[in-house]
A and B are shown apart, each in its own frame.
Chain A
Amino acid sequence: MADLVNLTIDGKAVAVPKGTLIVDAAKTIQNDIPVFCYHPKLKPVGMCRMCLVEIGTPKMDPATRQVVKDDKGVVVIAWQPKLNTACTTPVSEGMAVRTQTTVVSDAREDVLEFLLTSHPLDCPICDKGGECPLQNLTLEHGPGNSRFEYENKQHNAKHVPLGDLIYLDRERCIQCSRCIRFQDDIADDHVLQFHERGRHMEIITLSEPGFDSYFSGNTSDICPVGALTTADFRFKARPWELGSSPSVCNHCAVGCNTTLNTRLDTKTGINEIKRVMPRQNEQVNEIWLCDKGRFVHHYTRAGDRLQKPLIRQNGQLVETTWERALDLVSSKLLGASSVAAVIGDRIANEDAHLLTKLVNSNAKGETRLSPALPASYADLARDYGVGVGFDMKQLGKGDVIVVVNGDVEEQAPVWFLRLRQAVVDRGAKLIVSNHRGTKLHRYAAHIARYEQGMAAQWAAQTDDAALSTEELTKARNVLFVFGDEKLDAVSARGLAQILVGKLVAAGQIGKPNSGLLPLYPHGNTQGVFDIVAGTRHSGNPGVLSVDVAWLVGVGDTSDAPKARFSVVSELFMTALASVADVVLPALSFAEREGTYTSGDRRVQRFYRALPAVGQAKPDWWAVQEVARRMGFVWNFASPAQIFTDLAANVSYYSGLGYEVLAKTESQWPPVGRDDLYYGGTGYENDGGIGVRYASNPSVISAPTLPKMITSMSDLKGPARKLYQTGELIKRSDVMQTHIE
């Protein structure tokens, strides 16, 4: 912390880094200066005038340019004649700030009375009521009543759909522009704007369709009033009635920390997710979520969730008891000469571990990752991945970020936000190489193109000066973000290998912020790979031919082995479930606990938020029950115990455990506490910020391809879009018009 500046706030000394704004400096000593327009993640504008304080600086003698001191030797403070905004004024050496004087409290009361003259005061029916900065600050600082005549209130439209996900209540809006600035400064989707002026000023959307952004839900979190509500949550529940459980989003490799807000639904009588909120993790998602992570949760309470085990009788799947289903599966496994487990990349580490353990007990047991293609390069991504101390927030001037063959906004939206800030706000150099345009191209200092599917060939042959060993050696850090779009297994692995080669050549191995960062399809691709990457994991599951196959959370029909007998653990009657011999109803991530490993190898816990649906059980439970029937003496009572076993068996995870993963640390800016006006309604992290396990860079072997690659020759990475259709997203009503 070089360049500390000393100042006093209400007489209390505080030292903060140069450039800190008064409002943030005060926050570090728990002095809550109220704000509406200011947000610690956005650039200050000083519009709402709520944060007015008295500011003074040491009095200077104009003749001597020396600080003036009184007879007691105390520095005389020259107070500014007017109040000034704490949110736009940076601290300076010797500055004095007064936040508790009558002038200041009068100003706060005045500004609140002004704001409330136009506000509808419809708190009793407002979704924000209970967690509303305007409500809270009015109670704390506002006048007891208003002298403004109620009938003079201006009435505006109350249900304006900005897009189909976000509604605007024009009466409640206090014109703070947080939403506009989020879209401009963070998302870089310039779709919101002020229209008209004065008392008629209002938020409009300029895009067609309206509010066209993957990040629109965040504006509802940071809106300091109930003006922006999500189509999903509006009029669904009062905030204080909601239960909240820490969770982790599993839709992409980022692993955003979330909080699941749940409540009994008055109509159906069942407990359901009312909204998904960001849970602060400054090293993962900060306080943001993409709209997919926020709005796709409806599948957890979809009417067609599987509720009971099914077995095939006379060609039909019929409901049965767990006893019968488990007996049948265990007897088939006992008699099987060859067994395969195919594990989807949204399955928790614990379930993957237990199933792998069971299947590997068979001499001819095979476990595979689904989708399979990432297995061709996930070992490189793990061993040459970013360092343990990796933090995108530290990327900036001097760093080189190379995005090869990936569309970060579509495939890891929150990484897009954070990489963009590293480039645009902090000056990292971005090189983008792709066969098509992506949003990141906007910020690239350098762009390279190649034919579709030719990423590896391009990387091998490029004589681009920006990617020369010399340039990469000079860089402070080098981050390679890459994807497998339109690549076959040979090319995908080839690409990763070439990137590793460049890291090694440039001496960029072993630094926290240098390494590979893969754009995996889902939230636990790395985790499942780490577990199945034992002895017999390699290759494409679709080419296997076995006696018994057990498929857990597998979406792609081409990932199903040819099997005499197949078991499918699923949430829904998917294409694969409908042709299975046994279908086991599984629990969704919201109904159980477990861990996921994100694309940057951060192992994170998610917690149970909802009760089970019907007789559905977690996969690990079903696996253990089958194992017991097969004679294994397994007594895992919870995912925590399974994780301990996992950590003992998978070397990368050694030392990790549920307690370590549940650790939190204080984060900046503070969110989710009483001072909601400051950071928004996102949640404080009380579930653990997770731990990134260490990579294992060793001398790179000769670029021979692992044998498994040959079995993967048919595979080609899809061009994944954020809203592409799937079993989960298609069950979310609010997302319907967005599905591609």
Chain B
Amino acid sequence: MEKHILLRDLDVPNIRDLAVYSQHEGYAAWKKAVTGMKPDEVITVVKDSGLRGRGGAGFPAGVKWSFIPKDVFPKYVTVNCDESEPGTFKDHHLIRHNPHQVIEGTALCAYAIGANVAYIYCRGEFREPAYELQKAIDDAYAAGLLGKNLFGSNYSLDIYVHLGAGAYICGEESALLESLEGKIGQPRLKPPFPAVSGLYSKPTVINNVETLANVPPIVLNGSAWYKQWGTEKSPGVKLFSVCGHVKNPGNYELPLGKYSIQELLEMAGGSMTGRPIKAVLPAGSSSPIIPASNFHAKLDYEAMAAIGSVLGSCSWIFMDDSVDMVWAARKMIRFFKHESCGKCTPCREGTHWALSVYDKLLSGKGTIEDVNLIGEVNKQIIGKCFCPLGEFATSSMTFTLKHFKQDYVDFIDQKKGGSDVYLKELARDHHLHELHSGVVSVNGIKVH
């Protein structure tokens, strides 16, 4: 990109400071909206821009906002900054280096739906960036950009930052709301959807940080301006977090549908190790792995679906041919086992079971029957879970088995299990497991 729309810190030094941001059209959209636009006009321009949710599901943002009933009060905006998909670090970048654009986008969303309170829910591990974000919000209050009777109107807005306790599931919007309400982070039954009954049972819009960061330039420059990038169905620009075996990992801001996976890899400097890239996870551990043979696919929602994968949260983890997919799949299953909220049976028990079989493979005791068992357990989980997390957990198994079955066969045939590296890894995980489930005392009874 010649000029970044989201990663503006790369073009403008210190845009994280309110003074600098203000010099570069900062809060111009906000002032324009509050002083000169009706809330519905804001919704219309966002709707017309075709901006789709950047959290992963890709639901059109303006359409989501238009679902909010006009006659129910209060209503809320909740910003999803849980960013917990492994390999994703775009929201982290935004709130840290370009926080005011996120705040301005949040404010515009609140104005558009008629909310007077917005919460930015940051994952527990974002302690430091959350403090920085809070500082930016404080500056905005001090400059009269947030608070009561903004720009002399009768519209008031408060924005709060809330830190979660560190749970993958709280990136799921209804679990996020539960957590924000102070309850245990577990997804809610839908319907009702948040637009009808969200935070504190009131109409709520939940948008990803990146989605909202797109809003100020759209409001300022109009929907047609935004549509000059991207495809018809996926307009605009998107952040791509790239990591793994690449030379230049980092965030890349690209128009949707313009480049292919191969081009993204090249932008990131190609393989770090010099070994050929074997596959990529396009949206962290929850996404169907893409073998190198499909790297021709363009980077937009539709093209990714066509090759049986997803754009999702755009966290691209490239892996070279040294990666054993059995090991990689185990890593991911261990992650999901650890992050399963426990609400529904297939996810809670299935990930637990699948991990135990993978551990058996790594320990060197596994047979080809165990590989088949993984496939069976995986099938038992698919389509039965309460929320998408459970289904995500199956991706690593389904697609490593689909694209890299040979890795599994070789793992058994060549007796790769039981090596020192794997045994050490198992021992360490086991130790961590003990730490996590450390013996505590409840009612005087020691429990695990």
Contact = CB atoms under 8 A, between A and B. Distances in A.
Interface of A: 44-50, 52, 82-83, 88, 107, 110-111, 113-115, 117-118, 147-149, 152, 154-157, 159-162, 170, 174-175, 193-202, 204-205, 210
B337 interface: yes
B341 interface: yes
Contacts of B343: 47, 175
A210 to B, nearest CB: 5
Contacts of A107: 384
Contacts of A50: 345
B278 interface: no
A110 B377 CA distance: 9
B448 A114 contact: no
Contacts of A174: 345
A152 B356 contact: yes
Contacts of A82: 383
B348 interface: yes
A160 B380 contact: no
Interface stretch (B93-101, B129-137, B284-292, B438-446): B438-446
A201 B437 CA distance: 10
B299 interface: no
8 contacts: A47-B345, A114-B345, A160-B442, A161-B445, A162-B443, A194-B186, A198-B342, A199-B340
B377 to A, nearest CB: 8
Contacts of A204: 442
A115 B385 CA distance: 14
Contacts of B338: 198
B352 A118 contact: yes
A118 B373 CA distance: 17
B277 to A, nearest CB: 33
A47 B383 CA distance: 14
Given A82-B383, A162-B443, A199-B342, 16 more contacts: A47-B345, A49-B384, A49-B385, A50-B345, A88-B189, A115-B349, A148-B356, A156-B447, A157-B448, A160-B442, A160-B447, A161-B443, A196-B437, A198-B351, A200-B437, A201-B348
B337 A198 contact: yes
B345 A157 contact: no
Q: Taking chain A's interface residues, is the majority helix, strand, or loop, or is none over half, making it mixed?
A: loop
Contacts of A198: 337-342, 348, 351-352
B369 to A, nearest CB: 9
Contacts of B360: 149
B409 to A, nearest CB: 20
A201 B445 contact: no
Interface in B320-360: 337-346, 348-353, 356, 360
Given A49-B385, A49-B386, A83-B384, A156 B340 contact: no
B410 interface: no
The 3 nearest A-B residue pairs measured at CB: A201-B342, A114-B349, A157-B447
A147 B373 contact: yes
Interface in B200-252: none
Given A157-B447, A160-B445, A52 B384 contact: yes
B185 interface: yes
B184 interface: yes
B376 interface: yes
Given A83-B383, A194-B184, A210 B351 contact: no
B353 A148 contact: yes
A47 B448 contact: no
B384 A159 contact: no
A195 B437 CA distance: 12
Nearest to B380: A110
Given A46-B386, A157-B448, A197-B185, A111 B345 contact: yes
Given A82-B383, A147-B373, A202-B447, A197 B167 contact: yes
Contact of B346 (A111, A194, A195, A205): A111
A49 B346 contact: yes
A148 B189 CA distance: 30
A204 B443 CA distance: 9
Nearest to A202: B447
Contact of A199 (B352, B380, B447): B352
A366 B130 CA distance: 81
A596 to B, nearest CB: 38
